[in-house]
Amino acid sequence: MTKTTNLPMGQLMDREPLARYTSWRVGGVADHLYKPTSIEDTQRYLKSLSADEPVLWLGLGSNVLIRDGGVRGSVIYTRGCLKQMEETANGVLKVEAGVPCALVAKLAAEKGLSGAEFLAGIPGTMGGALAMNAGAFGGETWGLVSRVLLLNRRGELIEREASEFEIGYRFVSVAADEWFVACYLDIPAGGNEESREKIRSLLAKRAKTQPTNIPSGGSVFKNPEGDHAARLIEATGLKGYSIGGAQVAEKHSNFILNTGNATAKDIESLIEYVRAQVQEKQGVLLQTEVRIIGEELVQ
């Protein structure tokens, strides 16, 4: 049973099952899960932890596979917590890490800003999008970022310019003990109705080409240079292949679905099987886009 303690600011839960916080709907328990109410409250919580306590940040829980044995230490849950969005001077949007990317696309369109529409196709929060330079429909998160706010392991707030980071395909050179808590997005002015129509078009395309109504973790593998992971997986004959309750999606081969009773072990086993088969038959070693974290379940 979940033990809940109401703190003066945020909410701390002990032995919290993480399956309810991930888009795959799998994962063991966290020793502690903290829902902060603000960046300042998050600072306070980090400062309260012992120096050796592991810390994991979790937003929408997409692009992450949490093993069945769960996560030791503290999970800081940002979705619906670090949720502030505001327009500053000159059309710059300040967005906190827990805001879903789709809401950022919507706000930008409402403000008459053009170029953030692709964010509607990213099934995650801005914190996760910043950490991996998430992209969709030809756009990438860091193409919009001018500067960011981070917290380090000691709870200190740091502001950095985008130019201070090395950015690549699904890669950002952020230190292991620093985490994004907000960003400033510099989005050009445009027509709001045109932006709304583009968002509608992109979402329709996503619904047509991706399995959006069954639990998944998003795209599992990075696209190799000059090719597509989905094409390689399909060419290997793995569309629809299953291990336990995990299945390679028929609609898009770079998605693995939880068909209803999958464990994290099923999903991880299928990921490794797909990697091995594609390497054997196509000569390409696929790299995971999904982060696999936590401990194996000890039987």
- 40: number of Cβ within 10 Å: 11
| Nearest to 2, CA basis, from 10, 11, 14 | 14
Antiparallel, parallel or unpaired: β 171-172 and 167-168: antiparallel
> What are 276's two structure tokens?
């091995």
Say how far apart CA 115 and CA 119 lie, in whole Å: 9
Catalytic residue among 170, 206, 231, 291: 170
Say how far apart CA 191 and CA 195 lie, in whole Å: 6
Identify whether 219 is a catalytic site residue: yes
Catalytic residue among 62, 195, 219, 253: 219
Reported as type and span, the H/E element at residue 93 is strand 92-96
Q: Strand ranges (DSSP E) for 157-272?
A: 157-161, 167-168, 171-172, 178-186, 242-243, 246-248, 256-258
Identify whether 289 is a catalytic site residue: yes
**Cross-strand bridge partners of residue 57:** 76
50 CB contacts (<8 Å, ≥6 apart)?
Answer: none
Residues classed as catalytic: 170, 219, 289
